[in-house]
Structure 1
């Protein structure tokens, strides 16, 4: 039996080599060269792969998504019914996202946008020093990524709050949950960080109402999915000064078309969905483990809960 591998062309061979280094007996086929469809027992794929195409493989018993986010799996037609889908929960992905969040929190906290503007104008001006203990950080989502980011921020002395759908206790983090908790946390968030999974319930959650609840001059950091943000509402909030700046790593669509306003907005810092990038050598062990578990009929790691949406 064989494993089908489908990702960006530049990463295909790295993934193959990382999997074979752990289990040289694996037969790995690189999409689109799948060979005989009946041979495929597992598919290790990323967002561009067509879920409909996976219905060609009658003996498929496992799908592994090469990332932490799984919203792409919910696009019609979705994965073949009855086939378990696993996502990656990888320490390197988590660490990278924490670094990116920290980078941008400090960028805004230490007035980097203002100092860069002064530099462009050749103006020597010392701005009032910010106080870390007074810069309140609100994190939307306290899963693997949000919990790690919260710990990093707490370690620097920032007051950290977190919002989740259901109550979640986390040491040193003030918790908010549900419909009532969201506006309560937003009203106290000088920097709002979105690390939520994208579901029907969270799509468009960063909208005019939520942005209007933030303290005037607050900042937004979105490392989750572009669908969380209503672009027109964020641009209006930036232009009015309600939001003083935004760091965005994710967009709809991607790649972001050249004509979109974010590209040239003076108060927006962009990265091209690069905040957290899967490193094959780090992620491969859990992929190989799940392939072995699927063969043995054992419980799988990090299964996607399609009812919950992540």
Structure 2
């Protein structure tokens, strides 16, 4: 019997993903029809973006799963009408994009490139940079993205540490976990990378107290989620020199308001949420594979843990 897969996202998303999803269904041998409208009782799966007009899932009595186009699920995970499995997007293309963005900015900080590129020196000031094995990089968040970033930095010989809520064991990465381990992890963060999910527990992970636990003159990269940082506390840390520079790709309000102090601060680089985006072709393949698993009665990959919020 032909499956009905409802595409519940914006028209712009439809133009990006519609053909890629149909092609992926064919490649996986799925007998499935991708539609933008359907009677709720006929829908087997929903491909979803939180910007969709669909917010009440209660009429979809026969739906087997919602497959998100986004990696972040904070805007949907608390929806009480969504009672069937919710699957977050873990896309190889998006992961590679994140790795490249983080590694690029880690190297920028590691080599002090801003002093030569962004603000050309007027005087000859020679100095030698440390080697990668002499630089400590700490990653807060060791999910699929954080692990991929850490593994690449390890291959480049950086001294990599990481922190997560629960214990992890990763080759080449010194790991910390739980509230007691956060202080120890932060102490290793000469360059700190934030890749935590946005939950009630992670909001303001970087605040006045935790920023003070970083090595003086630390650098911060946030391609994760805006609410991970207390904005006013970061400005204070930048002004005092506790933090040398911050490159921020995500914010509490997006686009970042024009009057926000981050725009004018000399030690902040703003990038417009470009570190990692879902790639239509690779993400469509992940969605199709998960639907195949569902039809075979196998466990879905990347299933959201509602209790943890991600």
How does the TM-score come out when normalised to structure 1? 0.90
Q: 2:72 matched to 1:59?
A: no
Q: Tell me if structure 1 keeps the 8 A contact 2:223–2:250.
A: yes
Which of these residues, 34, 45, 49, is aligned with residue 46 of structure 1?
49
What whole-Å deviation, never above 9, does each CA across 1:40-94 have from its counterpart, x for those lacking one?
222111231256333343332210111222222235xx15242111112222111
Report the equivalent of 1:26: 32
Report the equivalent of 2:212: 212
Q: Tell me if structure 1 keeps the 8 A contact 2:137–2:158.
A: yes
* 1:140-179 matches, cutoff 5 A: 140-179=140-179
Which of these residues, 69, 73, 85, is aligned with residue 70 of structure 1?
73
- The ranges of structure 1 where at least 4 consecutive aligned residues each deviate by more than 4 angstroms after the TM superposition are none
Q: Distance in 1 between matches of 2:67 and 2:272?
A: 23
Q: Distance in 1 between matches of 2:279 and 2:80?
A: 24
What whole-Å deviation, never above 9, does each CA across 1:235-267 have from its counterpart, x for those lacking one?
111122111111111111122222111122221
Report the equivalent of 1:107: 108
Q: CA deviation at 1:292?
A: 3.3
Q: Distance in 2 between matches of 1:118 and 1:249?
A: 21
Q: Distance in 2 between matches of 1:272 and 1:117?
A: 18
How does the TM-score come out when normalised to structure 2? 0.90
Q: What is the DSSP-based 3-state SS (H/G/I as helix, E as strand, rest coil) of the residue aligned with 1:82?
A: coil
Report the equivalent of 1:118: 119
Q: CA deviation at 1:110?
A: 1.4
Report the equivalent of 2:284: 284
Report the equivalent of 2:299: 299
Q: Paired residues, what number?
A: 303
Q: Tell me if structure 2 keeps the 8 A contact 1:154–1:160.
A: yes
Q: CA deviation at 1:218?
A: 0.4
Q: 2:40 matched to 1:37?
A: yes
Q: CA deviation at 1:150?
A: 0.9
Q: 1:15 to 1:186 in 2, by over 3 A?
A: same
Structure 2 residues not aligned, in runs of 5+:
none
Report the equivalent of 1:95: 96
Q: Distance in 2 between matches of 1:219 and 1:8?
A: 37
Q: 1:88 to 1:81 in 2, by over 3 A?
A: closer
Q: Tell me if structure 2 keeps the 8 A contact 1:286–1:301.
A: no
Q: CA deviation at 1:273?
A: 1.6
Report the more deviating stretch, 7-16 or 184-193: 7-16
**Greater per-residue helix proportion:** 1
Q: CA deviation at 1:8?
A: 4.3
Q: Tell me if structure 2 keeps the 8 A contact 1:51–1:79.
A: no
Q: CA deviation at 1:272?
A: 1.7
Q: 1:272 to 1:8 in 2, by over 3 A?
A: farther
